[in-house]
Amino acid sequence: MPDHFEEMWRAIAPVGRSQRSGGYFRQPLTDAERELDSWFVEQAGARGLRLESDPFGNRIAWWDSGSGPGVVTGSHLDSVLDGGAYDGPLGVVTALAAVEVLRERGFRPARPIGVSVFVEEEGSRFGLACLGSRLATGTIAWENARDLSDRDGVRLDDAMAAAGLDLENPQPWLGSGAIGWFVELHVEQGRDLVDRGAAIGVASRIWPHGRYRVEISGEPNHAGTTRMEDRRDPMLTYAMTALAANKHARLAGQRATFGRVETTPNSTNSVPSQVTAWLDARCESDEALAALVGTITRQGAERAARDGTTLTVTAESVSGAVDFDPDLARRIAVDHESGDWPVLPTQAGHDAGILSARGIPSAMLFVRNPSGISHSPAEHAEVPDCLAGVDALAETLARLAS
Ligand code: HGY
Ligand code: MN
Ligand code: MN
């Protein structure tokens, strides 16, 4: 007997969870994430769904019914480092539960319904956001992704081979036309639904966003015997660049974050030789993103010239603005007993954005997050809202697959 929402949620809760923080470490192709992948295969089997997998580890479990391009719904099972329980898995568990609800109601889809999982959505191990869905749609070619490496220098192709994935001649499998619609349900990463008093929302757009590696080189020296005026300290250049990023993002109403910094040799009593930091920038438009990153780069370079250091900025992962099909969003959002679901933008990237950009009609449903916090052990959604999400997704699938 297939598990329902709360049974599934309890089953995966311990997987990859840190005893120290309560956060999740479900990096792609690690034991924890592979355990979730096996759990998904087992849940698909318990529902008699036909499992389709691509060479990269992406999966779609099909409820074969009717004909024509199918309706696919799902999300991801990987997490950021020390992440929350809901970002990703909520969309997968809800999709499996929604299939169960439709079957219990005797619904017969006029077209196939697929439950999907895309790998490495967070880019937390190999650095490129939505890596699995980019490979699945051909947004990035395997040849340009295979030598991406993690912080230990492990290459993507070696990690995939070690996980038993067959990468003989991998081809993208989700070109436009392969599926009719893609719907991703996701915990809201913000407080818009809380402020509106709504449990369910629909996405209007995804802000453009990018990740940039900032490399600053200086002159290693003694922390005590080197006079302040004689230093070429990359940590100083980094600090001023981080301040500039924060200031300009705030002034422009955009987002800029330095959440990851590495320093060499990382020695307490040495002026460092190198600081490498990663900027995450998100703006309302592609132009605003280019302008903000340009300003931060320019001010960082000016500071480097004053400090006698050198600074370079390299884009590692950039996603353009995604405007979801407004007619599809509206078709999903209206005529519900609780009234129309609000349609709202998000500053978080998602696989739905990658599929939409490749011409696959896509939509997102959001489930209320009481604190709005995400990418944190504190991320949360209440069970009644999660169950409302199951009903909302079932309703949406019924509308699209009728
Ligand atoms: O970082 C993001 O925007 C998403 O959570 N992957
Ligand atoms: Mn995320
Ligand atoms: Mn996510």
Look at residue 166 in the predicted model and tell me its pLDDT. Answer: 84
Q: Are residues 90 and 230 located together in one domain of the fold?
A: no
Do both 142 and 16 map to the same domain? Answer: yes
Instruction: Say yes or no: 302 and 327 in one domain.
Output: no
pLDDT category at 286 given cuts 50, 70, 90 is very high
The number of folded domains in the chain is 2
End residue of a domain, out of 319, 345, 372: 319
Residues 198 and 216 in one domain: no
Judge if 315 and 325 occupy the same domain. no
pTM above 0.85, yes or no: yes
The yes-or-no verdict on residue 348 having pLDDT over 70 is yes
Ligand 1 close to Cβ of residue 121 (< 6 A): yes
Q: What is the CATH number of the domain that holds 79?
A: 3.40.630.10
pLDDT at residue 1 tops 80:
no
Q: Are residues 174 and 201 in the same domain?
A: yes
Ligand 1 atom index nearest CA of 122:
6
> Which atom of ligand 1 is the closest one to the Cα of 87?
5
- Residue that terminates a domain, selected from 300, 319, 338: 319
Mutate to test the pocket of ligand 1, among 81, 126, 189 (most ligand atoms within 8 A of CB): 189
Q: Mean pLDDT throughout 306-323?
A: 97
Cβ of 122 less than 6 Å from ligand 1: yes
Tens digit of each residue's pLDDT (9 = 90 or more) over 192-243? 999 999 999 999 999 999 999 999 999 999 999 999 999 999 999 999 999 9
**Atom 6 in ligand 1: residue holding the nearest Cα:** 122
Task: Convert the pLDDT of each residue in 88-116 to its tens digit.
Answer: 999 999 999 999 999 999 999 999 999 99
Query: 3-state SS of the chain?
Result: CCCCHHHHHHHHCCCCECCCCCCECCCCCCHHHHHHHHHHHHHHHHCCCEEEECCCCCEEEEECCCCCCEEEEEEECCCCCCECCCCCHHHHHHHHHHHHHHHHCCCCCCCCEEEEEECCCCCCCCCCCCHHHHHHHCCCCHHHHCCCECCCCCEHHHHHHHCCCCCCCCCCCCCCCCEEEEEEEEECCCCHHHHHCCCEEEEEEECCEEEEEEEEECCCEECCCCCHHHCCCHHHHHHHHHHHHHHHHHHHCCEEEEEEEEEECCCCCEECCEEEEEEEEECCCHHHHHHHHHHHHHHHHHHHHHHCCEEEEEEEEEECCEECCHHHHHHHHCCCCCCCCCEEEECCCCHHHHHHHCCCCEEEEEECCCCCCCCCCCCCCCHHHHHHHHHHHHHHHHHHCC
- Same domain as 325, residue 314: no
Same domain assignment for residues 227 and 190: no
Region 329-337: what's the mean pLDDT? 96
- CATH number for the domain that contains residue 224: 3.30.70.360
CA of 80 to the centre of ligand 2 (A): 6
- Mean pLDDT throughout 20-31? 98
Whether residue 158 sits in one domain with residue 94: yes
Which residues span the domain enclosing 278? Answer: 209-319
* Domain co-membership, 243 together with 293: yes
The reply to whether ligand 1 has any atom less than 6 angstroms from the CB of 349 is: yes
- The pLDDT score that the predictor gives to residue 159 is 97
